[in-house]
Every structure is written in C-alpha cells, then in structure tokens.
Structure 1
Amino acid sequence: MTKKPPGSSDVSISDLVERVSLEIRRMGAHSVMMSQVIADRFGLHTTDLECLDLINMRGKTTAGELAQATGLTSGAMTALLDRLERAGYITRVHDSADRRRITIQVREEAIEPIKTVYAPIGERMGALWSSFTADELKTIAQFLERSTDLGVVCIEQIRKETASKPVSRRRPRVNRRAIT
C-alpha cells in the first residue's frame, strides 16, 4: 500500500514526489532556456551569466568559492572571470587585510541593462508568489534551499567521479541503414 499525504485520499506521496520531480525538471529546463536567450542578448555564455548572478547574489566572492559552488575547475573559472572582467561586468579587488586574497564583485552600472531585462519577469513572479500563504512560502523556500544544497553536493560528487573515470566524448554511432 502506498502512503497517502495527510488530508488526501486520492494522491499518494510517491505520486506527489514524482510530480514535484517532473515540475523541477521542467522549471530547470525552462530556466536554462531563459538564461540562454538573455545571455545571447548580451553576448555572454550562459554559464557566464549564471555565475555573474551568483556573484551578484553573494555581493563579493572569491574565484575558489565560486568554483566550489558551481563545480567548475579552477582553470574554467579563471577563463570565465577573465571574460566577465574584459566585458566590464566584474572587478577583481585585492583584500585590504591580505593582499594575496582577491575578491570578485559585480560592477553595478554594468549589470543594470541585464537587471532591466529581468525586472518584468521578477515582478510577475513576485505577484504569483505573493498569492501563497506565509506558511506555504516558508515550505517552498525550505524545499528550494535544501534541494539546491543537495544539488551542490551532487555536483561535487559527479565531478570527483568524473575525475577518476575518463569519459569518452564520442557520439554514439548511428546505423544509417536502419533509418529509412
């Protein structure tokens, strides 16, 4: 017998978990597509746009912290930050207490055009989210935070597994005779 959630007689927990899984995947796919459209508009790589957002959310960060949060290698992170710096979106600042430590910060004036594109989306999402109760929003926030934290752990695990196992980058061979 499948466990039913409290107050529900026709939907099982496993059915709801499956629904949540599918909706998270759908949201993730659409988020990637939106990022690509906006990144294209500003001549950025999608990963660059998302890392720029992470830097903006953190206020300031280091390359190492950002690499750890994203799962990118230090070399890939350096190249990404070089691109963002050349484009004028970020600055690297020497820490006044430790000159060897460099923090990365967004240049607010440079990201204003990007914020302008996201503003109407944020307003519409804010209106939607405001239709939920405070308790529902607390649950949603907890769900998203815990899911994201677990995702970061999974990224690190996959990265470690990938480093220990060489992966073939070849595409599967297509049997053209079978295609008619």
Structure 2
Amino acid sequence: MSTHARHRDTEDVEAYGARLGMEFSDAVVLFHEAIGSLMGLSAADHKALGIIRREGPMAAGELAQRTALTAGAVTGLVDRLEEAGLVRRTRDPVDRRRQVIEARASAPPEVRRAFEGLQRAMAGVTAQFADEELGVIDRWVRETTRVMRQQAAAIAQG
C-alpha cells in the first residue's frame, strides 16, 4: 500500500479527503502558476483565459460568475489579458451596450509544449488504471469539482 493511502485505523474519511484534496490542489495551482509565469500572468489570469478559450466569448459578468471573482477583479483581470494581447473586448452584436470578451491569440509555443508534456505524462498515469477504476476517479473528480465551485460561489457571495 502506498504511504499516501488512507490508513483506516488512524485517519478518518474527512481528514483523508482534506489531505488528498490539499495535496492535489497544491500541485494543480503550482503547475498553473508556472504556466502563467511563461505568459507573464498569474495562475488566476491564466485559468480565466482558459475558461474564455474553452467556453467562447462571454460578458464580464459571466466570467465573474464562472470564476467567483468580483466585477472589479474581473475588470482588472481582463485589462491584464487585453494588455498582453490575449483577449479583446467587442460589442455584443445583439445588445450593443454589452461588451463581450473573446480570446485572441493561441497559447505561446512554450505553453503548448508544457501542456503537451503534461498530456503525455497524464496518459501514462491513466493507462495504469482499469476502466472500472477510471470510472471511480472520474466520479471523484466531477464531485470534487462541483463542491469546489459551490464553495467558491458561497465565499464570493459572503
């Protein structure tokens, strides 16, 4: 058994979940901080850019909801992304009063290489698990993601 596995006699489910979640979160945040630094961005700026790229053009209010950031924080974030040439603000074709944020440039080559390396490494990790195990992992990640989003929204709402 791995030294990182839960020891049923000495660690309760809550402590195990907290420890596992913190270790995973630390690794993810530090990875994205490193990626962001390649682009001159913070991890939060980089992740917001990823949301815009994946989900397509959106209003600042939508980005605020997705990131659980305040409107003021999103304005500063979009200003930084726009200054870096990564997004642009355009007018909504339906409601000209509304501004839409859209991604401009693709990721720089060094960022693409970093993600390609991560994808190869994660393919190796994934290959170690049976389909049934991957189903459990998928369920854990989806539930953890849902909880994290709920908790971030609750914090943002005060």
SS of the counterpart of 2:26? helix
Shift of 1:108: 4.0
Q: 2:80 aligns with which of 77, 80, 83?
A: 83
SS of the counterpart of 1:99? coil
Flag as ranges the 4+ runs of structure 1 deviating above 4 A. Answer: none
Corresponding residue number in structure 1 for 2:95: 98
Corresponding residue number in structure 2 for 1:33: 30
Corresponding residue number in structure 1 for 2:144: 147
* TM-score of the aligned structures, taking structure 1 as reference length: 0.71
Q: CA separation in 2, counterparts of 1:133 and 1:16? A: 24
Flag the 1:100–1:131 CA change in 2: closer, same or farther, 3 A.
farther
Q: CA separation in 2, counterparts of 1:142 and 1:54? A: 22
> Unaligned regions of 5+ residues in structure 1, if any?
1-9, 162-180
Shift of 1:15: 3.7
Q: CA separation in 1, counterparts of 2:105 and 2:143? A: 29
* TM-score of the aligned structures, taking structure 2 as reference length: 0.80
SS of the counterpart of 1:104? strand
Shift of 1:16: 4.9
Q: CA separation in 2, counterparts of 1:65 and 1:158? A: 17
Q: 1:137 aligns with which of 126, 134, 142?
A: 134
> Unaligned regions of 5+ residues in structure 2, if any?
1-6
Q: 1:43 aligns with which of 40, 43, 52?
A: 40
Letter in 2 for 1:146: E
Shift of 1:116: 2.4
Q: Kindly name which structure, 1 or 2, has the bigger radius of gyration based on alpha carbons.
A: 1
Q: CA separation in 2, counterparts of 1:138 and 1:60? A: 32
Letter in 2 for 1:85: E
Q: CA separation in 2, counterparts of 1:117 and 1:103? A: 29
Percent of aligned positions that are identical: 29
Give runs of aligned pairs for residues 1-180 of structure 1, distance below 5 A.
Answer: 11=8, 15-16=12-13, 18-109=15-106, 111-113=107-109, 114-161=111-158
Q: CA separation in 1, counterparts of 2:115 and 2:57? A: 21
Corresponding pairs, count: 150
Q: Which has the higher contact order (CA 8 A, sep 6+)?
A: 2
